[in-house]
Amino acid sequence: MASLEDVPSVDMMTELLRRFKCSSKPDKRLILIGPPGSGKATQSPIIKDEYCLCHLATTDMLRAAVAAKTPLGIKAKETMEKVHCTPS
């Protein structure tokens, strides 16, 4: 883990200002559901920034687990290959 001493002052000030702006916004939780290509990944950064939300994408998490070859990643890879395969 990086030390705060390693973080540029500009980055710390930007984050501080973002948190100050977000402190007055009410807590929200949103889940975007839709088929591939429906715009979830396009709209989520816009919504995240506007409403000061955290963006978690299960696809990103599963891809990271597959890349790390964790037990979950191994199972996820098997399922992903079954879902995305095309008949010969």
- Percentage of the chain beyond pLDDT 70 is 92
Is pLDDT above 70 for 85? no
By C-alpha distance, which of 83, 80, 30, 81 is closest to 59? 80
- 10 Å CB burial of residue 88 (0-12, 13-18, 19+) is exposed
**Boundaries of every domain in the chain:** 40-88
pLDDT in tens, 45-75: 899 888 888 888 888 888 899 999 999 999 9
Q: What is the pTM of this model?
A: 0.54
Whether the CA torsion 11, 15, 16, 20 is positive or negative: it is positive
Nearest Cα neighbor of 25 from 4, 55, 52 is 52
